[in-house]
């Protein structure tokens, strides 16, 4: 988990309830404050069900998911029709691809086949060269008549794959939080493995205190931020990586050469929606030295830790930040 | 999180996806407010009408999808208004009380809201009941909001002593009005709005206390309001400007130009100076204060008992300026105190785009209001 809501320890009130669960290969929590358990529990179940709905619909590890259906049809010459929600996310993916100069690419996930992060092995000779021709949003065919319409997608080559991992979790956090808001919840948060979307401030009106994990010390925080609404997401080179000859190889791969990015240990972004915050952290990691002007152009709060451990932050983050905790 | 600069395109694109953020959010906090208003108008050498109005306001969220707004006010009106033109000697005196209340219930949806409202007001010679239905819709990116509404009012007029002529009793007036509009965020700092309203009133539209007042029994009114609010990032101030163009089936054409500048000066205090200019042409049946030599006052030259006729200064051609200042102090997160003053003056010669009506005394008014409100 890259971001910890710290106030869980500070306050263990009867009307501040956490509902833990596992989804999308990480530890998750729906937190509802200001309501009694009898009211909060069915609401939390509803929010968790929404996260699970999104996971089973978009996970590429579920055979019945939309993404698996699209991937299974790769190279078959037959386009796959997708519903409005999937089409909205594909449009969003197209926009992320265009705005990042092609770096954010939901077809690039299959490059990880060449990297064995558990065993700490670099790709064999020629392995990347073999995979790269099947990577590239510009290679697939995506058609949609307009907003609110269904769409048709076709992966023209066998072995091409889509992966919604770059924003599926963040989208789920937003959807679950918005659902709780529409049910009248005014205080709480949805935390999916450190990607956090707030539902509102604490019941007394004070902001939540969120901590960002130190990218080199698993048990330490590098910064804290006070936040009453909006979302916080972090990407880092510490989530999956191996080191060889003093070089760190992380799981965030540049779709142009299939090799891990460097330059940032981690990037955290504060934005009104978790979907935006998560996508921007990934794009920032991929942009490497060009990340900060890009984040500034999106006018979001950020905290970026460079290769030497130096901290770069947006003024918004400084306003909201409490003193950094070292333990 | 409050940012003045516009959010980036990717942030907006994410927020536009269904279910990612809530667009139309019911008021998160409730508000109770008390206000006291004192109004007085005058003409040279003569204080006309004084109005004292305490009022009460309540805004309350009910869950996250419903909101209620209610207000109640109590006017005490005393003084006198002229029977015709700006004539001081022929004034009708009044000492009246008016009670008014309204209630509006709003249902908030993902990108829309729907409101149903009702209003009631009563004074000893007048009763008004109204209801309204209004809706808003926002675009996926929340940059555009459309609104539309319909309202109906039914009034009952039963003037003291039957009015000036002594024979007016139990008259009715009905009004239907429609509004459509659009609000567009042009940049993060600029908001523009256009609203078109049309209303049709039928029934008894005369002023029963005025001499020789005979107006058509129908009035169709159309107005276009254009607004532009600009936020200055440097000092946090906001300039609100608006222009309203109006015309009606009585041939009154009017324009209003208004500038308001909300300037925070620190310590939770903001100052809002206001300048408004209004100009109108006269109604087609308005008669100038030039009286028939045989019949004498108030009969105007060429008076015809069977034609429409009015000597009401409000239907003359004039121009008017309003200068105002509002001081608002946010004492803490919950309490707000405000003080507002406006001075108004209208004169025939201040009319723009044509000659003003002649022979009327300038008309002045001033308004003072103090208010206190608390969020809950």
Q: Which two tokens stand for residue B318?
A: 């004039």
Domain count, chain B: 1
d(CA B202, CA B219): 7
- Domain assignment present for B3: no
Strand partners, A121: A116
- Where do the structural domains in chain A lie, given as residue ranges? 3-56+167-320, 66-165
Distance from CA of B332 to the nearest CA of A (A): 14
Higher pLDDT, A325 or B46: B46
**B126: pLDDT strictly greater than 80:** yes
Strand, coil or helix: what is B216? coil
Across the interface, which of B3, B14, B21 has its CB nearest the CB of A178? Answer: B21
Biggest CA-to-CA distance, chain A: 60
User: Beta A195-200 vs A80-82: how paired, if at all?
Assistant: unpaired
Residues 327-356 of B with CB under 8 A from A: 333
Q: Model confidence over A261-273: pLDDT tens digits?
A: 989 999 999 999 9
Q: Which fold is adopted by the domain A3-56+167-320?
A: T-fold (3.10.520)
Q: A5 preceded by cis ω (within 30°)? A: no
Highest mean pLDDT pick, A61-75, A232-246, B247-261, B353-367: B247-261
Q: What is the pTM of this model?
A: 0.59
Q: What angle do CA A142, A147, A151 make, to 5 degrees?
A: 30
Q: What is the ipTM of this complex?
A: 0.86
Which two structure tokens, joined as six digits, stand for B109? Answer: 């949806």
Judge whether A207 and A199 are in contact, CB under 8 Å.
no
In this predicted structure, what is the pLDDT of residue B142?
67
Asked if the Cβ–Cβ distance from B20 to A275 is below 8 Å, we say: yes
B36-76 pLDDT per residue, tens: 999 999 988 888 899 999 999 999 988 768 899 999 999 99
**Which residues lie across from B72 on neighbouring strands?**
B56, B101
**Residue B140: inside a domain, yes or no?**
yes
To the nearest whole percent, how much of chain B has pLDDT over 90?
A: 66
Q: Given B14, B15, B140, which is nearest A147 (Cβ)? A: B140
**Chain B residues inside the 8 Å CB shell of A279:** 10, 14
B62 domain-assigned: yes
Is B22's CB within 8 Å of A174's CB?
no
At residue A7, what are phi and psi to the nearest 5 degrees? -70, -10
Residues of B in Cβ contact (< 8 Å) with A315: none
Identify the DSSP state of B214.
Answer: B
| Cβ–Cβ below 8 Å for B20 and A171 | yes
**Candidates A88, A96, A272; nearest CB to B1:** A272
Q: Do B1 and A200 touch (CB under 8 A)?
A: no
Q: Which residues of A touch B63 (CB under 8 A)?
A: 184
- Separation of alpha carbons A230 and A103, rounded Å: 25
Which candidate from A95, A179, A230 shows the least CB-CB separation from B1? A230
pLDDT given at position A87: 93
Quick one: three-class SS letters along A163-180? CHHHCHHHHHHHHHHHHH
- Partner-chain contact A276 B140, CB within 8 Å: no
Residue of A nearest to B12 (CA): A276
* pLDDT band, residue A320 (cuts 50/70/90): very low
Task: Tell whether B314 is covered by a domain.
Answer: yes
Residue in the structure block whose two tokens are 């996260």: A51
Residue B209, domain extent: 9-375
Residue B4 domain flag: no
pLDDT digits (tens, 9 = 90+) for B287-333: 999 999 988 889 999 889 899 999 999 999 999 999 999 999 988 76
Distance of CA A241 to the CA centre of its chain: 17
Question: Which DSSP symbol is given to B37?
Answer: E
Average pLDDT over residues A46-63: 93
B31 near B57, Cβ under 8 Å?
yes
B307 part of contact set with chain A, CB < 8 Å: no
Contacts for B62 with CB less than 8 Å, ≥ 6 apart: B26, B68
Task: Kindly report the CATH number assigned to the domain that includes residue B237.
Answer: 2.40.160.40
Predicted pLDDT at A2:
46
**Mean pLDDT score across all residues of chain B:** 90
CATH assignment, A66-165: 1.10.3980.10
Asked if B30 is an interface residue toward chain A (Cβ–Cβ < 8 A), one would say no
Q: Which residue bears the tokens 């988990």?
A: A1
Q: Where are the alpha helices (DSSP H) in chain B?
A: 9-16
Residue B310 corresponds to which tokens in the numbers above?
């009015």
Contact B8 A205 (CB under 8 A): no
Q: How far is B22 from chain A (nearest CA, A)?
A: 6
Residue A4 has pLDDT above 50, yes or no: no
A239: Cα separation from own chain's centroid: 12
Q: Return the structure tokens found at A263.
A: 């330059």
Domain assignment present for residue B220? The answer is yes
């Amino acid at each position: 988990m890259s971001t910890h809501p710290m106030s869980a320890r500070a306050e263990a009130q009867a009307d501040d309830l956490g509902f833990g669960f596992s989804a999308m290969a990480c530890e998750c929590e729906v937190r509802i404050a200001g309501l009694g358990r009898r009211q909060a529990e069915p609401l939390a179940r509803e929010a968790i069900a929404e996260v699970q709905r999104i996971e089973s619909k978009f996970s590429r590890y579920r055979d019945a998911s939309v993404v698996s259906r699209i991937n299974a049809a790769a190279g078959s010459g037959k386009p796959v029709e997708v519903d409005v929600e999937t089409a909205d996310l594909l449009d969003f993916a197209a926009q992320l691809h265009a705005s990042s100069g092609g770096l954010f690419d939901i077809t690039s996930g299959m490059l990880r086949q060449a990297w064995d992060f558990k065993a700490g092995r670099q790709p064999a000779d020629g392995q990347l060269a073999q995979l790269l021709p099947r990577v590239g949003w510009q290679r697939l065919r995506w058609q949609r008549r307009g907003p609110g319409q269904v769409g048709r997608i076709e992966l023209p080559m066998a072995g091409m794959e889509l992966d919604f991992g770059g924003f599926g979790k963040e989208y789920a956090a937003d959807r679950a939080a918005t659902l709780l808001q529409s049910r009248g919840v005014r205080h709480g948060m949805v935390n999916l493995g450190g990607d956090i979307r707030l539902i509102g401030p604490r019941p007394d009106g004070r902001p939540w205190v969120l901590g960002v994990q130190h990218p080199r010390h698993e048990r330490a925080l590098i910064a804290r931020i006070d936040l009453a609404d909006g979302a916080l997401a972090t990407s880092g080179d510490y989530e999956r990586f191996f080191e060889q000859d003093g070089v760190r190889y992380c799981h965030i791969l540049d779709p142009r050469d299939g090799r891990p990015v460097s330059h940032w240990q981690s990037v955290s972004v504060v934005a009104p929606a978790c979907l935006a915050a998560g996508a921007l952290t990934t794009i920032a990691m991929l942009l490497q030295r060009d990340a900060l002007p890009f984040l500034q152009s999106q006018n979001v709060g950020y905290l970026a830790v460079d290769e030497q451990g130096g901290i770069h932050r947006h003024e918004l983050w400084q306003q909201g930040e409490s003193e950094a905790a070292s333990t | 999180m409050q940012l003045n600069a516009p959010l980036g395109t990717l942030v907006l694109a994410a927020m536009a996806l269904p279910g990612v953020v809530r667009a139309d959010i019911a008021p998160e906090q409730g508000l109770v407010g008390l206000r006291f208003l004192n109004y007085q108008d005058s003409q040279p050498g003569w204080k006309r009408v004084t109005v004292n109005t305490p009022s009460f306001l309540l805004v309350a969220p009910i869950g996250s999808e419903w909101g209620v707004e209610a207000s109640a006010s109590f006017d005490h009106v005393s003084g006198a208004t002229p029977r015709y033109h700006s004539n001081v000697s022929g004034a009708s005196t009044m000492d009246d009380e008016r009670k008014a209340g309204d209630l509006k219930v709003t249902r908030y949806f993902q990108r829309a809201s729907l409101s149903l409202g009702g209003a009631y007001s009563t004074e000893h010679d007048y009763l008004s009941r109204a209801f309204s239905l209004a809706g808003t819709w926002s675009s996926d990116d929340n940059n555009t909001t459309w609104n539309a509404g319909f309202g109906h009012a039914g009034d009952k007029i039963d003037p003291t002593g039957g009015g000036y002529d002594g024979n007016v009793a139990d008259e009715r007036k009905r009004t239907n009005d429609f509004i459509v509009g659009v609000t567009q965020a042009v940049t993060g700092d600029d908001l523009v709005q256009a609203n078109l309203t049309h209303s049709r009133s039928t029934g008894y539209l005369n002023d029963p206390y005025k001499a020789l007042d005979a107006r058509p029994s129908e009035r169709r009114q159309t107005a276009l309001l254009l607004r532009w609010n600009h936020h200055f990032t440097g000092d946090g101030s906001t300039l609100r400007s608006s222009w309203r163009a109006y015309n009606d089936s009585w041939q009154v054409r009017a324009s209003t130009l208004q500038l308001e500048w909300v300037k925070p000066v620190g310590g939770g205090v903001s100052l809002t100076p206001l300048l408004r200019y209004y100009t109108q042409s006269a109604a087609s049946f308005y008669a100038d204060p030039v009286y028939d030599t045989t019949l004498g006052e108030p009969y105007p030259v060429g008076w015809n008992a069977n034609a429409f006729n009015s000597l009401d200064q409000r239907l003359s051609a004039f121009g008017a300026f309003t200068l105002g200042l509002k001081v608002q102090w946010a004492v803490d997160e919950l309490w707000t105190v405000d003080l507002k003053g406006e001075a108004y003056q209208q004169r025939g010669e201040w009319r723009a785009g044509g000659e003003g009506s002649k022979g009327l005394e300038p008309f002045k008014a001033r308004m003072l209001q103090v208010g206190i409100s608390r969020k809950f």
